[in-house]
Structure 1
Amino acid sequence: MTLDRFRSVADRALGPFVGAAKTVGLSPNGVSVLAFLLAGAAGGVYAVASQDPLLYLAGAVFVFLNGWLDLVDGALAREMNVASDAGDLLDHVLDRYADIVIIVGLAAGLGRWALGIAAVTGVLMTSYLGTQAQAVGLDRVYGGLLGRADRLALVGIVTGIAAFANPTALNVTLVGWLLVVFAVVGHVTALQRFYYSMQALE
C-alpha cells in the first residue's frame, strides 16, 4: 500500500496551485517553508487537542495542506526551471522535521512518549532507507507498506475522525493506535526498502 505511486496523477491536478504560487511570488523554497510551518501548526494543535477534540480537525486540515504543498513545491520548481540539488535537500530536510513535529505533537497530546519515540523512529527509518538507496547508486525508493503520502493521509483521516470520536481499545485511543501503526509498519517498511536495496546491489 503506497500512495506515492500515484504522484503522476496528483501532478496533473497541481496546475492551478502552481499558477497561484507564481502569481503571489512564492518560490519553490518558499512553498517548502510554508508547508513546514503548516506541519508545525498541526503538531502544535495536536499537542493540546486533549483540551478540545475539535482541534484534531484543525490539525487534519493543516496536515493535508502540508502534504499538498509538498507536491506543489516540486512542480513549481519544474515549471520555473529552477529545480536544484539544494532545493531538493531543503525539501527533504523540512519533510523530516515536519514528520517529527506532527508525530511528537500527537504523542504529546496523548502523553504517550514511549509510543511517540517508537513511531517517530519508524517514520525516520522509512525515509532514511528511501534516500540511502539513492546514496549508494540506486534510484530513490518509495515502495513499501507505508510511504510519506500514506502517513499524511492516515494522520489526516484518523485525526479528522478523532475530532468527533476517539474510541479506546486495550487502553489505547484511536490516535494512539495510529502511533502504533507508525511504530510497527514504519519499521517494517524500512526493512522492506533495505531488502529491496540489498537485492538490487547484489
Structure 2
Amino acid sequence: MHGDIGPFDRFAPLYDLLMPRARASTLRAGLACADREVERALDVGGGPGRAIRRLALPERVVLDAAPGMTRRARTHGLDAVLGDASQLPVRSGSVDAVLVVDALHHMGPVDDVLSEAARVLAPGGVLVVREFDPGTLRGRGLVAAEHLVGFDSVFYRPAALAERLQRAGLAPRTVESGVGYTVAGVAENGEAK
C-alpha cells in the first residue's frame, strides 16, 4: 500500500459510513469463474471487510496493511490479519479465492501482489480484482482526486491488468467493464505459478 497506510488507518472508523457497499452480484460472478468450489476466501486490502461481508462463504479472512482497518474488520465478526499484499502470510495453495476490491491501485509493486495471490490459490482457484479504469472520464477524475489528496495510487486499464494476471500464471476473464471493472484470474491448468 505504498505510503497510503497512514491515511487508511486514520480513516478506518469512518470507512463503512462513507464508502458504498460492494456489489455482491459482481463478486459472485467473479467467484463463479473458479474451477473449484469456493469455501476459503482471502480479501486482500479488504479494509473492514466491505467486500467479503457481502458473500456467504464458510471461511472469510481479511488481510490489510492498516491496523485500524483490521480492527474494524474484527468488529464485523471477521478474521483479520495485518499484512503486506506482496508477501502474504498464507500457505501456498491454501485458499479458493482471493479478492482485491477497489484496492489494487494502492498496492505496490503490483506484479508481486498478483504473483502472491496466484501462489496462495488452490488448484482451480480464482483471483477477483475490481478496479477503476483510468481511461474513462470518471476514471481520470478519480486518478486526479487520489493524487490530489496525496495517495501514491497507480491505476491500470482492464487489458493491462489482464496481461499482468496472465504473467502471474492466471487465465484472465473480464467479468464487468466500465469505470469500475472486474477481472478474474483463474489458476491455469489447475495450478498457479
> TM-score, normalised on structure 2?
0.29
1 or 2, which has the higher helix percentage?
1
> TM-score, normalised on structure 1?
0.28
1 or 2, which has the higher strand percentage?
2
Q: Greater CA radius of gyration, 1 or 2? A: 1
**Bigger RCO of structures 1 and 2 (CA < 8 A, at least 6 apart):** 1
